[in-house]
Amino acid sequence: AGAAYLRVTPSMLRRQTGRRGKDAWTALGGRVYNISPYLPFHPGGEPELLRAAGRDGTKLFGEIHPWVNYETMLSSCLIGLLVDEAEAQS
């Protein structure tokens, strides 16, 4: 039910590092976000934010600022849901 979210596998996520002309994506709490538009606004700076690019950034994010409400801040940057490789095929 609801919106049809893009299902993103870890291998798809790994290609989205922000290099080679592609946007930087990260996964937070099972959701995948395009963080490229947010890069210039991140109070911690672009290099810090890019440490989470192309991978699951949940742990890193939680270690630094668990109080930050990323769901609201990045709602317009939502790409889809992180799924495992097998789930994407079904």
Burial of 52 from C-beta contacts in 10 A (0-12 / 13-18 / 19+): buried
Phi, psi (deg, nearest 5) at residue 88: -70, -25
Nearest to ligand HEM of 45, 85 (CB atom): 45
Q: What CA–CA distance (Å, rounded) separates 66 from 34?
A: 19
Nearest to ligand HEM of 67, 89 (CB atom): 67
Pattern 27-66, ligand HEM, x by CB under 6 A: --------x------xxx---xx-xx----x--xx--xx-
Residues of this chain, 4-23, that bind ligand HEM according to CB under 6 A = none
